[in-house]
Chains A and B, each alone.
Chain A
Amino acid sequence: MDGVHDIGGTDGLGPVGYRPEEPLFDNPWERTVFAMSFPAMASGLNLDAFRHGIEKMHPVDYLSSPYYEHWLFTMEKGLVETGLLTEEELRARTQQFLDDPSAPLPQRSDPAAAEAIVGFLRSGAPARREIDAKPAFAPGDRVLVRNLHPKGHTRLAGYLRGKRGVIDAVHGAFVFPDTHAHGLGEQPQHVYTVRFDSVEVWGPGADPRTVNHFDMWESYLVALDGDTDDRAALDR
């Protein structure tokens, strides 16, 4: 989707807010949200759906809320969509804690379950998959980024659509977020790092000695050869 999250190249967002020292979590609620996200995802909310939920925040909220509020939002929406929770019980329970902020949490001790989550974090959850198809591109190939505007989740950033680049690296196949986020399966595709000349991306005023690199799933790209008109390639 063409959302506010797709923010590369947007002007006017002000200083980066660098803090030389900062705690890992500014508030205890952020710590809770971070940690809860892993059991929440293990209950059936996959990472791509989790990311897409954040993209569906209203742009005003997205830009003005603390980072972990994004995670809270996508868990609330996503766990209603998976059927684990209902909006009614979330609303009612939130009201209870607003009325009585010191109300105790239910106790459910299960140290083995907590260790299992930690073990999962230590080992990781690879998105790499083996597929039969050979990669369509090789390092050095010239490619054009397709001008795609799907309504749902995509990892194709707006600042690179329609731009010409060169395959920099071939990484193997990975779960395709554009389908996986929507319950349409993993449908793994080859992923490539594509490098882009800064002037191609940002126009004639760009710093000529910068190079943008971006990882692209194969279906985001079309081949360019010396004789191909860019416009014709885009229409393939």
Chain B
Amino acid sequence: MSTDHVLPVRPDYNADPTPDPVVVARVKALESLLLEKGVLASETVDRVADLYEKEVGPRNGARAVARAWTDPDFKQRLLADPVAACAELGIGGMQGEDMVVVENTDEVHNVIVCTLCSCYPWPVLGLPPNWYKYPAYRSRIVKDPRALLRGEFELDVPDEKTIKVWDSSAEVRYWVLPQQPPGTEGLSEEELVELITRDSMIGTGLPRTPDSPAGAR
């Protein structure tokens, strides 16, 4: 018997983005005290948020992947020493001080998670999406990744393909080098960047193809 119709989805973090007035007041209280005590500058919030809103995001990772697809020597460097290879592209920083890139192949599909908190390779993927940080994904992807990817990410990893789950529990940050979609061999690096989604580097999706519908994951 299904209980879907009688039980609420709980917690439904995405249901109502209206802020709790108490939380808003607590944030202003902390912000005002940090300003008064000389810990925070008035410009810091906008400068820091701007960095991740405008500059550091999954396009960085997409640039590295596109380079790896078009330059076999770079791919070798990316897999051997991702921090140094990303630095060649001007990519690096907080939460990417130590990284490991895991390569998808015909035999292996990789997916990343942080079950204990929300560790994520910020310099290449930006800040994590909400679902990555909330309990449901963290609890389920380590236990039955194939079913979760099929059921909620529209990603069918065939039964015969091994799924490797990487739980980022220390200070090493993992991300996925997806396979280049068939039929895109003639595309330029710039064209390939447009196909490489955030989810394809988490392992909850695959790169788009040139004929994927707009907005495909």
Contact = CB atoms under 8 A, between A and B. Distances in A.
Interface in B128-163: 129-131, 133-140, 142-148, 152-153, 159-163
Given A7-B138, A29-B23, A128-B98, A213 B167 contact: yes
Interface residues of B, number: 92
B51 A121 contact: yes
Given A39-B40, A171-B172, A209-B161, A97 B138 contact: no
Nearest to A202: B143
Contacts of A211: 162-165
A204 interface: no
Contacts of B21: 98, 101
A119 B77 CA distance: 26
A39 to B, nearest CB: 5
Interface stretch (A85-93, A134-142, A221-229): A85-93
Interface of B: 9-14, 17, 19, 21-49, 51-53, 92-98, 100, 113, 115-118, 123, 126-127, 129-131, 133-140, 142-148, 152-153, 159-172, 215, 217
Nearest 7 pairs of A and B residues by beta carbon:
A8-B115, A215-B170, A110-B41, A93-B29, A35-B48, A114-B43, A97-B25
24 contacts: A5-B116, A8-B115, A8-B116, A19-B129, A32-B27, A32-B31, A51-B117, A54-B117, A94-B22, A94-B26, A105-B42, A108-B41, A118-B47, A122-B93, A123-B92, A124-B97, A126-B98, A157-B167, A159-B115, A169-B100, A206-B144, A207-B144, A207-B147, A210-B163
